[in-house]
A and B are shown apart, each in its own frame.
Chain A
Amino acid sequence: MDMMQTGLDPADFADSARKAVAACLGLDPAGCGARLAEDGLLGVLAPEEVGGLGLDLRFALPVVQAAGAGDLAFPLAETMLMARHLAGPAPAIAASLAAGEGRGTIAWAGTARTELVGTVGRAPLAEGADWVLVRLAHGAALLPGSALRIAKAIGLDETAPEYNVTLTGADAACRLDAAAWSALAEEASLLRAAAILGAAETSLALAVEHVTTRRQFGKPLVANQAMRHLLARQKLAMEGMRGALIRATGCGDDAVGMLARRAAFLAAATHGPLIAEASIQAHGGMGFTWDIPVHRHLRRIRTLEAQGEAPAMREAVAAALIDAN
């Protein structure tokens, strides 16, 4: 479905997403889910049969970007993707996810064995989740949260902490085949790029605010060229990330598009952490305090980078160039 058919513009979603994310501040994941569902944000990608809007990925990107910018305590990208990809095999579950009633998440790291045993990791906010999607050697399986042992992992993100998930041999509610999983994973990496972009934008905005108001040696910090150039470099990297993401959304389903989509994530995974780190640096000692929220964005960005397996993605990019020729 495109803009001509729907009369919708992805930019329209940015504004309502920002407001909804702001309204989620202080809510628990269940409360966030209900609030986001009110605006239809969980079902942006889900087909209309399960109560979704049936829109393409371009409409989800500004929503996830706003979630990254606002350090949202909810597995938004995971829920959106599950509501879309479970609509075929498990429509009732997809509908409950899109409606913000059921809670789902995805374990991004590791592969469970086909007989549904083993431990997988990097499942954001898995505690109390009704459904967890885990990767198998071929495809993925959806398991009820009640049938899993869920333990908090050592991770950076405190707002959306990651959990390790141990399977106990319980039956899957449904399975996704390898093609469905790889489509989901590819969409996830573009959504991660958008989330990292949002978090990096907030980090840099906080740094700009700090250096323009904080005075040292009788003048604002921003009067120093070292500080201006530090921030200019972060802006340069951020606009490069944004350009790569915009370009990727306009590319086709061929090898050129595949490279563009991988590069959009890798650009974000490469530069996003550095922008947040530089933003902490620009804050001086205050940047090392809990109260200055840049560290939250850095934690989120580094976690998204790991969930997206950036080194493996780089290897895939290199392989497509070197081994294919």
Chain B
Amino acid sequence: MMDGMHHDLSGEAFRAHVRDWLSANVPPGFLADAPGYTTPTLQQCRDFEAAMHRAGLAGITWPRAYGGHGRTLREHLVANQEIGRLALPESVSSIGKELAGPIILAIGTEEQKQRYLPAILEMREMWCQGFSEPEAGSDLAGLRTRATRDGAGWRITGQKIWTSGAAKAARCLLLARTGPLEDRHKGLALFAVPMDAPGIRVRPIRQINDKDGGFAEVFLDDVPVGPEDALGAPDEGWNAAIRVLGIERATNRMYRAWRFENELRHLVAACRQDPALAPLLRDGAYRQRIAATLVDIEMVKGNVEPVVEALVAGEAIGARGSLMKLHWSEAHQRFAALAMEILGMASPDAPPPVLQAQKRFKDIYLQARAETIYAGTTEIQLGIIADRVLNLPRGK
């Protein structure tokens, strides 16, 4: 099927399109559970994600006017289920697609939408996130980076940290303070800062998993930002962003349950390849734990699918994204530990498929440490559930 013809499809026909397109277009060596896997380069990932977008597999619910495909959330879920079934690399542009894009869609000017959104989907511009600071992690009341008026524009000075992908990013979705520190949560403003602006310096931070393009610190010294790159007025932009992020937390990476299932199937398949591991698949205790993992996966699906129906029905989903994120991240950590335990018993001369699985699950295990920290730590999510799902009084 030619690119662009997929817009007429719906329901199961769309699922078939996604499945067929992926089986025909995933580059050789891209799948972490298939023979011949080699870690894809950044450029390979960009090219593949751009092709996914042209085929209708990215920007699924974004309006067509801004390069999206104007499809429903149900179709977004369908595509994610099919994407999740394959051991594909994570997006190298997740900040743009999952954070900056949805916020710009909600609060950007028409000109900003035209300028930023197609560039994200076409993989021409990648974004990084400039929220956290050395003195402001989960608590943004302590944010110190300051934006001061400079004619119609702004000058920004301060320091950001944990800014993943800063070195490769064209823009930074940056949060800065327009008033005094005493204003705490007031006077915060969002900017789309060009990363090639004068006064920006990026210093990489080595991560526990030694991944290229990971964490960085970003230093901003009197960085000029034009009025066209301010996202909403002070307060307005950030308040809208918080609302958007509540929905986004519940709808992005919907493939996670199905990818999780792919990982479990990979682990089982790898065990069969090694005479030291195959007997574990007949061991009652390991079978109980594998079943518990499957139940966890089904619970992740059970958290995702009703949210789609609720959003389609126009219901407010409130803090349900916190439930989804917390259950998935902890279940995934339990599974990653199980995989490390099992693969740790492999034969010293294990065959290549087992070595490949060991490499994949080592990465997954280390990456899983971040999953209960980023996008709101476990402790923050528990606080949100207590406050906004259980509606517990503060108890003064």
- Asked whether A149 is an interface residue with its Cβ less than 8 Å from the other chain, the reply is no
- Asked whether A267 is an interface residue with its Cβ less than 8 Å from the other chain, the reply is yes
A264 to B386, CA, bound (A): 24
Interface of A is mostly: helix
Docked-complex contact B288 and A311, CB < 8 angstroms: yes
Tell me, rounded to whole Å, the shortest Cβ–Cβ distance linking A128 to chain B: 37
Docked-complex contact A232 and B383, CB < 8 angstroms: yes
Residues facing B in A213-252 (CB within 8 A) are: 219-225, 228-229, 231-233, 235-236, 239-248, 250
Docked-complex contact A228 and B302, CB < 8 angstroms: no
Known contacts A239-B323, A243-B302; decide if A232 and B386 are in contact (CB<8 Å). Answer: yes
Docked-complex contact B386 and A219, CB < 8 angstroms: no
A250 to B301, CA, bound (A): 12
A232 to B381, CA, bound (A): 9
Tell me which residues across on chain A come within 8 A of B327, comparing CB atoms.
236, 240
Tell me, rounded to whole Å, the shortest Cβ–Cβ distance linking B382 to chain A: 4
- Asked whether A325 is an interface residue with its Cβ less than 8 Å from the other chain, the reply is yes
Stretch at the interface among A46-54, A116-124, A181-189, A316-324: A316-324
Interface of B is mostly: helix
- Asked whether B1 is an interface residue with its Cβ less than 8 Å from the other chain, the reply is no
- Asked whether A208 is an interface residue with its Cβ less than 8 Å from the other chain, the reply is yes
A190 to B267, CA, bound (A): 29
Tell me, rounded to whole Å, the shortest Cβ–Cβ distance linking A247 to chain B: 4
Known contacts A220-B395, A235-B385, A321-B268; decide if A246 and B306 are in contact (CB<8 Å). Answer: yes
Docked-complex contact A244 and B298, CB < 8 angstroms: yes
- Asked whether A275 is an interface residue with its Cβ less than 8 Å from the other chain, the reply is no
Stretch at the interface among B139-147, B183-191, B289-297: B289-297
Among B281, B295, B389, the residue within 8 A (CB) of A266 is B295
Among A224, A240, A321, the residue within 8 A (CB) of B294 is A321
Docked-complex contact A236 and B287, CB < 8 angstroms: no
Among A229, A241, A325, the residue within 8 A (CB) of B269 is A325
| A261, closest chain B residue (CB) | B298
- Asked whether A314 is an interface residue with its Cβ less than 8 Å from the other chain, the reply is yes
- Asked whether A254 is an interface residue with its Cβ less than 8 Å from the other chain, the reply is no
Tell me which residues across on chain A come within 8 A of B302, comparing CB atoms.
240, 242-248, 263-264, 267
| A250, closest chain B residue (CB) | B305
A51 to B332, CA, bound (A): 48
Tell me which residues across on chain A come within 8 A of B211, comparing CB atoms.
none
- Asked whether A64 is an interface residue with its Cβ less than 8 Å from the other chain, the reply is no
| B303, closest chain A residue (CB) | A243
A223 to B393, CA, bound (A): 8
- Asked whether A289 is an interface residue with its Cβ less than 8 Å from the other chain, the reply is no
A250 to B74, CA, bound (A): 15
Among B264, B290, B295, B299, the residue within 8 A (CB) of A243 is B299
- Asked whether A28 is an interface residue with its Cβ less than 8 Å from the other chain, the reply is no
Tell me which residues across on chain B come within 8 A of A246, comparing CB atoms.
302, 306
A317 to B290, CA, bound (A): 9
Known contacts A239-B323, A318-B288, A322-B290; decide if A247 and B386 are in contact (CB<8 Å). Answer: no
- Asked whether A167 is an interface residue with its Cβ less than 8 Å from the other chain, the reply is no
Docked-complex contact B298 and A315, CB < 8 angstroms: no
- Asked whether B392 is an interface residue with its Cβ less than 8 Å from the other chain, the reply is yes
Tell me, rounded to whole Å, the shortest Cβ–Cβ distance linking A256 to chain B: 10
Docked-complex contact B298 and A212, CB < 8 angstroms: no
Tell me which residues across on chain A come within 8 A of B393, comparing CB atoms.
212, 220, 222
Among A228, A240, A314, the residue within 8 A (CB) of B392 is A228
- Asked whether A96 is an interface residue with its Cβ less than 8 Å from the other chain, the reply is no
Tell me, rounded to whole Å, the shortest Cβ–Cβ distance linking B34 to chain A: 16
Chain A CB within 10 A, most for which of B290, B379, B386, B396: B386
Known contacts A223-B395, A231-B390, A243-B303; decide if A259 and B298 are in contact (CB<8 Å). Answer: yes
| B387, closest chain A residue (CB) | A228
Per-residue 0/1 for A299-325: is the Cβ within 8 Å of any B Cβ (1 yes, 0 no)? 000000000000100110111011001
Tell me which residues across on chain B come within 8 A of A318, comparing CB atoms.
287-288, 290-291, 294
Per-residue 0/1 for A75-94: is the Cβ within 8 Å of any B Cβ (1 yes, 0 no)? 00000000000000000000
Docked-complex contact A223 and B396, CB < 8 angstroms: yes
- Asked whether B265 is an interface residue with its Cβ less than 8 Å from the other chain, the reply is yes
Docked-complex contact B303 and A240, CB < 8 angstroms: yes
Residues facing A in B352-396 (CB within 8 A) are: 379, 382-383, 385-386, 389-390, 392-396
Among B269, B290, B303, B390, the residue within 8 A (CB) of A235 is B390
Docked-complex contact B395 and A212, CB < 8 angstroms: yes
Docked-complex contact B295 and A232, CB < 8 angstroms: no
Docked-complex contact B287 and A228, CB < 8 angstroms: no
- Asked whether A16 is an interface residue with its Cβ less than 8 Å from the other chain, the reply is no
Per-residue 0/1 for B171-200: is the Cβ within 8 Å of any A Cβ (1 yes, 0 no)? 000000000000000000000000000000
Known contacts A239-B303, A247-B301, A321-B264; decide if A270 and B295 are in contact (CB<8 Å). Answer: yes
Tell me, rounded to whole Å, the shortest Cβ–Cβ distance linking A283 to chain B: 16
Docked-complex contact A232 and B288, CB < 8 angstroms: no
A260 to B393, CA, bound (A): 36
Tell me, rounded to whole Å, the shortest Cβ–Cβ distance linking B11 to chain A: 15
Docked-complex contact B390 and A208, CB < 8 angstroms: yes
Tell me which residues across on chain B come within 8 A of A229, comparing CB atoms.
379, 382-383, 386
Tell me which residues across on chain A come within 8 A of B287, comparing CB atoms.
314-315, 318-319, 322
Tell me, rounded to whole Å, the shortest Cβ–Cβ distance linking A325 to chain B: 7
A139 to B292, CA, bound (A): 29
Chain A CB within 10 A, most for which of B284, B305, B323, B396: B323
Residues facing A in B144-161 (CB within 8 A) are: none
A225 to B380, CA, bound (A): 11
Tell me, rounded to whole Å, the shortest Cβ–Cβ distance linking A250 to chain B: 8
Tell me which residues across on chain B come within 8 A of A314, comparing CB atoms.
287-288, 291-292, 295
Known contacts A231-B390, A259-B294; decide if A321 and B265 are in contact (CB<8 Å). Answer: yes
Residues of chain B touching chain A, judged by Cβ–Cβ distance below 8 Å, are 264-265, 268-269, 281, 284, 287-288, 290-292, 294-295, 298-299, 301-303, 305-306, 320, 323, 326-327, 379, 382-383, 385-386, 389-390, 392-396
Leading 5 A-B pairs by shortest Cβ distance: A243-B302, A223-B395, A263-B298, A314-B291, A318-B287
Can you show 21 pairs from A to B with CB atoms below 8 A apart? A221-B395, A222-B394, A231-B386, A232-B382, A232-B385, A236-B323, A236-B382, A240-B303, A243-B299, A243-B306, A244-B299, A260-B298, A260-B301, A264-B298, A267-B298, A315-B288, A315-B291, A317-B291, A319-B287, A321-B268, A325-B265
Known interface pairs A212-B393, A224-B395, A321-B264; 14 further A-B residue pairs with C-beta atoms within 8 A, sorted by A's residue number: A208-B392, A220-B393, A229-B383, A232-B389, A235-B323, A235-B385, A236-B382, A243-B301, A247-B301, A248-B302, A266-B295, A322-B287, A322-B290, A325-B269
